[in-house]
Amino acid sequence: MKGKIFVITGPSGVGKGTIVKEILKKVQNLYLSISATTREKREGEEEGVHYFFKTKDQFKKMIDSDEFLEWAEFAGDCYGTPKFPVNNYLSCGKDVLLEIELQGAKQIKEKCPDSILIFLAPPTFEALEERLIKRQTESIDKVKIRLTKAKQEMKEVKLFHYLVVNDKLNEAIDNVQGIIVAERCKIDNCV
């Protein structure tokens, strides 16, 4: 049986990375797709672990040679999901988790209609702002761009199959885990 694609999308700073890290520890047979990006490496990030860091030229070459399952521009940088590893996991019956932004999630929904799309939302816009500022990974200008983006993204929640509000972290982790477990137990999977 082929593996499934789980997509986690939500505004920058909502807690996607934090939740994904915990989910990968708790859920067996689930593999994270490592994206390519043109954004600068943050302190503590490692090549091939957090992202494959590319120049704009390298990224363009990957687009031209059709290496992405999806890709999008976000806040001035490009991000994309390399096709080959995802297809490899799926054909071996392994499930894959994509942590991507809205435009990418839309592309996946279109290209891979069996994918399960989860939207992660903050409890309030103020909480999101506080998390982004506290994280201290972007300049205030970039935080503002990400917050403007967040308002647009929140309007498209209806495209998703599930909504999880990340208020209390442990509850949000349990809910995402519950969704994955329930999807794996669906009768459709066996007939």
The one of ligand 5GP, ligand ADP, none whose footprint includes residue 104, by CB under 5 to 8 A per kind, is ligand 5GP
For the record, the structure tokens of 181 come out as 């477990």
**Closer Cβ to ligand 5GP, 152 or 189, answer by number:** 152
Please list every residue from 82 through 101 that binds ligand 5GP, using CB under 6 A. 99-101
Sign of the dihedral defined by the CA atoms of residues 172, 115, 46, 10, in that order: negative
Candidate list 5, 23, 35, 180; residue touching ligand 5GP; CB under 6 A = 35
Residue 187 CB, nearest distance to ligand 5GP (Å)?
A: 31
Instruction: Indicate the burial class of 93 (C-beta count within 10 angstroms; 0-12, 13-18, 19 or more).
Output: exposed
For the record, the structure tokens of 145 come out as 């761009």
Q: How far apart are CA 171 and CA 73, in angstroms?
A: 31
Residue 80 CB, nearest distance to ligand 5GP (Å)?
A: 5
Instruction: Indicate the burial class of 15 (C-beta count within 10 angstroms; 0-12, 13-18, 19 or more).
Output: buried
Taking CB positions, which residue lies at the least distance from ligand 5GP? 104
Q: E strand or H helix at 105, and its extent? A: helix 102-111
Residue 28 CB, nearest distance to ligand 5GP (Å)?
A: 23
Candidate list 5, 6, 30, 70; residue touching ligand 5GP; CB under 6 A = 70
Q: How far apart are CA 190 and CA 92, in angstroms?
A: 16
Q: How far apart are CA 184 and CA 78, in angstroms?
A: 32
The one of ligand 5GP, ligand ADP, none whose footprint includes residue 169, by CB under 5 to 8 A per kind, is ligand ADP
DSSP result, 45-79: --BTTTBEE--HHHHHHHHHTT-EEEEEEETTEEE
Task: By CB under 6 A, name the binding residues for ligand ADP.
Answer: 10, 12-18, 131, 134-135, 166, 169
Q: Give how far the C-alpha of residue 1 lies from the chain's centroid of Cα atoms, to the nearest Å.
A: 24
Question: Stretches 68-76, 87-95, 163-171, 181-189: which one binds ligand 5GP (CB under 6 A)?
Answer: 68-76
The one of ligand ADP, ligand 5GP, none whose footprint includes residue 131, by CB under 5 to 8 A per kind, is ligand ADP
Residues that bind ligand 5GP (CB under 6 A): 12, 16, 35, 39, 70, 72, 74, 79-81, 99-101, 103-104
